[in-house]
Structure 1
Amino acid sequence: MTSVATMSAAQIVEGQTTTPTKMGLSKRVYPILSLNPYQGNWTIKVRVTSKSPLRTFKNARGDGNVFNVELTDEDGTQIQATMFKDAADKFYDVLQLDKVYYISKGSLRMANKQYATVKNDYEMTLNANSEVTEAVDEASSFKLPSTTYSFTKISELGQHISAKRFVDVLGVVQSVGPLTTVNRKTNNDEIPKRDVVLLDQSQQTVVLTLWNNTAEKEGAALADIASESPILMAKGLRLSDFQGVSLSSTMNTMVLINPSIPDANDLRAWYEQDGKTASSTPAGASLPGGTNQSRSSFTDRAVLSEITEPSVGEGKPVYFNVRAYISFIKPDQAMWYIACQTCNRKLVEESTSSYWCEGCQKHSETCSRRYIMQAKLLDFSGEAWVSAFNEQAESLLGVSADNLSEMRSQAGEDNQYEKAVRKAMWQPRVYRISAAQTEYMGEKRQRLTVRTVVPVDWVAESKNLLAKMVKA
C-alpha cells in the first residue's frame, strides 16, 4: 500500500488519498467527515464495526428485507448505512463484521437523531447499484483497531435516560425468559419478545428486552446455554424508564454471545471469582418507577387532584407517592386472568383441565391466576380509578388470586370473598403510582397504575408535617 508520505501533491487533495485496490485500479478515498448529500462520486475505506440482523418489513410501499451497518474510517469517524430490499439481499452476506471495504455510489441524507446509533449529522443508504469491494490486502494495515466499544455500566444507566441516547452494555446473563409475543397496536401483528436479565461488576442487574428476530434467534441461543451464565454484548440499545430503568433492542441493535474481547474476559474473571456469590440489586430500584421499598414515601408526594390533571403523563410516564384509601372495588369485575405457571402469559382454556400457552407453545393441565384489579382511590382532594396488578393487588387483598377465586366459587352465607374485598378498603396506605397517557379509538385517556404499596408510617408522617410547619 502506498503511504501518504510518498504520494505526490496531486494525490493529496483536501484530505483525500488515492489508494490502489486489489483490482489494480486507483480510487480516491474520502474521509467520512468530508461527505455530504450534495457531493458527487466518492469512495470511502471503512471497517464494519457493527451489523444488525436481517429483518423483514411491511408498509404501504411494500415489503422486503432491511439491515444496517456501522462503518468506521481510519480517522475514527462513524456513519450508519442502511440497505433495503434488493440491496439488503445483495450485501447482507458481503458485508461482514470487522472486515475492511471500499464503498461507493451510496447516497446521504440528514440523520434521524432519534434512531441514530452513531454521532454523525448524516446517514447513508446503499442501493443495488452501490459498489462494495473488500480490501483484503489492507485490512491488517488499517489504522483503526478491531471493533471497539464504549460500554456503560449497569449502575450508570439511569444517568442517561433523559438524554434519549443509545448505549452499549456488557453483562453476565442471569436468566432468560420464554419467548412471548405482543400485539402491535396499528395492525394487531404479533411481535416476538424475550426478557434477559444482565449483571455486571457494578453488582446491579437490568432487564433487557429482545424484540423480533433477535428475540427468536439470539434469544433462543441464550436460552439454550443460560445455565452456563454466558456473557452478552449488546450495541445500540434503547434506554427506558420502565421499572426505573430497562433496556430494549431496536432494529439496529447488534448482539454477540461470549465475545472474544478483553472486557468480556475481565467480566468473566470477576464473575467466576466474586460475582456468582455477590449480592445484587436492580439498577432501577432507586429511580422513579423502580420497586425499591426503602425509597422515602415522601419522594414525589402528591394528592390525587394533582395526578388526575389531563396533561399529566403526556410524553412519558410520571410517578407519584400518594397517601390515600381504597373507597371502592367493583365486586363483579374480572379481577384476575388464567396464567401460564412458566411465563405468566394468559392461557387459552381448551377444557376444564387443559390449557394452551402461546408463549411457551405447549399444553398444560395446570394454571395459576394473576390479578388485574381496578379500584377507586380517595383522599381529601378527590378520587381516581387505578389499576393494580398481581403483586400489588395481592398486597392489598392479603390473599392470592387463586385463593380469592376459590372463595368466590364457594360463596355462601359466610361470604369470605366479600369479606376479603371489603378488608382491603378504607385502610390508609401510601401508593406509588405511575400516570401515563394512552390512546384508544382515537381518544386519549390517562392510565394510573399502582407500582408499590406500603403501610402508612404515622411517626414519619408526623415528622414530615412538623418539618413543613417549621419551614413555613
Structure 2
Amino acid sequence: MAMTRRVHPLVSLNPYQGNWTIKVRVTSKGNMRTYKNARGEGCVFNVELTDGDGTQIQATMFNEAAKKFYDRFELGKVYYISKGTLRVANKQFKTVQNDYEMTLNENSEVEEASDEAACIPETKFKFVPIDQLGPYVNSKDLVDVIGIVQSVSPTMSIRRKSNNETVPKRDIVVADETKKTVVVSLWNELATTVGQELQDIADKSPVVAIKSLKVGDFQGISLSTLGKSIVQVNPVISESKKLRNWYDSEGKETSMASVGSGLSPSTKSGGRSMYSDRVSLAHITSNPSLGEDKPAFFSIRAYISFIKPDQSMWYRACKTCNKKMTDALGGGYWCEGCQKNDAECSLRYIMVVKVSDGSGEGWVSSFNEEAEKIIGCSADELDLLKSQMGEENSYQLKLKEATWTPHLFRVSVSQNEYNNEKRQRITVRATAPVDFAAESKFLLEEISKMRASQ
C-alpha cells in the first residue's frame, strides 16, 4: 500500500486543494498546552514537519485531535499524513518559512512510515557562531548553536510572575571555535532530561547542538530554549566532528571569554560598542539600499527632535508573552499567543520619533525598553498622564521634556515593503545617555585618524 500511494510535496499544497497525502518527518514537537477563552477550555499542541525536498510546515491540533495525536507523533520519525486542512499562515506567529499552516482534526489520518524514513532529511541546523550572536539580542529571530559544554548547573526551580507556576531550569555554558562562551538556559522538560544527561557526562566535555534558541540580554548576551527547541548531544554531523577535533587539539588549553563580557545593557545590541560603526544620519538616509539583503547595524549620536503626540504610541500586551491582546467576548482581553483570556493587560511602547544630528534628520522606530529610556516613564504611566485632564497638559509636557536631549543609539537599518513600495526602516536597538568624557575621547581619536590619513 505504501509503495502505490501518491505523495504530494508540501510546496504543492494550498487551501483549495482536494484530497492529498504527504510524507514528512517530525523535526520539532511542542508541548501540550491548555487554554481558556470565551468559547471554553481546551488543549493544543503543534509539530513542525519536513518533507523530502526540505520544505517545512507547521501543523496544529486542538482538543480531541491533540489528545489523539500527541503520543503518536514522535520527534524524528516519518509519517504519512492525510485529511488535514490548510489556511494562510499568521505571519506574526509562524515559526517556519511557509505561506500556509496545517490543522489536523480527529478524522485526520497519521501513519508511521519507518520503512522509508531515509529519504526525508533529519533536523537541519543553521549554526550561528557564538561571537556573532549580538545582532540577534532581543529580536524575533531564533538561532541554532553548537558548542562544547564547559559546565552544567544543578536544576533550579523558577517561579513565574505571570501565573505563580514553578518550572525547572538548568544553565549550561558552551564554547566554540571563536573562543567565546555563552550561557544557555534549558527550561521545563529539557532541564530535567537532556540537562541531567549533560550533567552526568560534563567531565567528558560533550558537544551539544541546539535548534531554535531565543537570544536575550542577560549578562550581555544569553540563550534560552523554547517549547520548540531541539537539543542533540554529540550529534553525528560534520560540524560536531570539526568542533571536537578543535577542542581536543587546542581548545581545551585555550583561554575563553564570555561573549557578553564588557557589554553593558546600553551597549549590547549587535554585540558592539556605541562607538563602533559610528555614522551620521545622512549616511543612512541618503543610502536607500542599505539593509536590502540583511539588516545593517550602525551607531549614531542624535537628538530627539519631535514626538508626534497623536500617534498610536503603545499596544495592549499580554503580561505573560508580551504579544498583542484584543477585546474578548464578555469582557477582558484575549491573547492569541497564549490562547487564553485575561482580565488585565499591560501597555508596551511601539513609538516613532524624529531624530536629528548635524547632517540631517530621520524617523526611527523605538520599542518598549528603549522607548522608556527616551520618554522617562513606562507606557502605562504615560497613558495615565494622557487621561488626566487639567489646566496643564501633563502628557504633552512629558513628551516635550523628552526632546532635545542628546542620546547614543545603536540602530538597525532594513527594508520594508508598503503598498508595493520598498521603504527604509530604522529601528532603535539600544539607547544610552551621552558620556561626555567617553565622547570626547572618541572624537579626539577620530581627529587623530583623519590627520594620520592626510
Q: Secondary structure at the match of 2:144?
A: strand
Task: Give 1:56's match in structure 2, choosing from 33, 45, 55.
Answer: 33
Provide the aligned C-alpha RMSD in A.
4.6
How far does the alpha carbon of each residue in 1:320-372 deviate from its partner, in whole angstroms, 9 at most, with x for none?
xxxxxxxxxxxxxxxxxxxxxxxxxxxxxxxxxxxxxxxxxxxxxxxxxxxxx
8 Å CA contact 2:134, 2:269 repeated in 1: no
8 Å CA contact 1:289, 1:434 repeated in 2: no
Distance 1:114 1:153, change over 3 A: farther
Aligned to 1:153: 129
Task: Give 1:206's match in structure 2, choosing from 155, 162, 182.
Answer: 182
Structure 1 residue 285: Cα displacement: 4.4
Distance 1:280 1:465, change over 3 A: closer
For 2:382 and 2:36, locate their aligned partners in 1 and report how far apart those are by CA, in whole Å: 21
1:248 aligns with 2:224: yes
Aligned to 1:173: 149
Q: Secondary structure at the match of 1:252?
A: strand
TM-score by structure 1 length?
0.55
Aligned to 1:215: 191
Structure 1 residue 98: Cα displacement: 3.1
For 2:41 and 2:205, locate their aligned partners in 1 and report how far apart those are by CA, in whole Å: 38
Amino acid at match of 1:164: K
For 2:380 and 2:201, locate their aligned partners in 1 and report how far apart those are by CA, in whole Å: 41
For 1:226 and 1:64, locate their aligned partners in 2 and report how far apart those are by CA, in whole Å: 40
1:21 aligns with 2:33: no
For 1:310 and 1:301, locate their aligned partners in 2 and report how far apart those are by CA, in whole Å: 21
For 2:44 and 2:148, locate their aligned partners in 1 and report how far apart those are by CA, in whole Å: 30
8 Å CA contact 1:182, 1:193 repeated in 2: no
Distance 1:29 1:459, change over 3 A: closer
Structure 1 residue 154: Cα displacement: 1.6
Q: Secondary structure at the match of 2:17?
A: coil
8 Å CA contact 2:134, 2:270 repeated in 1: no
Runs of 4+ off more than 4 Å = 61-66, 160-163, 241-244, 285-288, 291-303, 436-446, 449-452, 454-459, 464-467
Amino acid at match of 2:183: V
Structure 1 residue 101: Cα displacement: 1.5
1:275 aligns with 2:248: no
8 Å CA contact 1:184, 1:190 repeated in 2: no
8 Å CA contact 1:103, 1:131 repeated in 2: yes
How far does the alpha carbon of each residue in 1:183-228 deviate from its partner, in whole angstroms, 9 at most, with x for none?
243x444444333322112222222233333334433443444343
Q: Secondary structure at the match of 1:435?
A: helix
How far does the alpha carbon of each residue in 1:124-147 deviate from its partner, in whole angstroms, 9 at most, with x for none?
22222211112233234x2x4443
Taking the TM superposition and a 5 Å limit, the aligned residue runs for 1:236-315 are 236-285=212-261, 289-290=267-268, 295=273
Aligned to 2:102: 124
| Structure 1, 285-294 or 260-269: larger mean CA deviation | 285-294
1:108 aligns with 2:46: no
For 1:226 and 1:53, locate their aligned partners in 2 and report how far apart those are by CA, in whole Å: 27
> Gaps spanning 5+ residues in structure 2: where?
279-298, 315-370, 386-397, 399-429
Distance 1:461 1:95, change over 3 A: closer
Amino acid at match of 1:154: I
Which has more radius of gyration?
Answer: 1
Aligned to 1:78: 56
Aligned to 1:91: 69
Amino acid at match of 1:59: K
| Structure 1, 213-222 or 282-291: larger mean CA deviation | 282-291
**% same residue:** 43
Q: Secondary structure at the match of 2:250?
A: helix
How far does the alpha carbon of each residue in 1:89-141 deviate from its partner, in whole angstroms, 9 at most, with x for none?
3323322333321101112222234443321111222222211112233234x
1:133 aligns with 2:111: yes
TM-score by structure 2 length?
0.57
Aligned to 1:34: 12
Q: Secondary structure at the match of 1:249?
A: strand
Structure 1 residue 80: Cα displacement: 1.7
For 2:158 and 2:48, locate their aligned partners in 1 and report how far apart those are by CA, in whole Å: 29
Distance 1:124 1:459, change over 3 A: closer
Higher normalized contact order (CA 8 Å, seq sep 6+, divided by chain length): 2
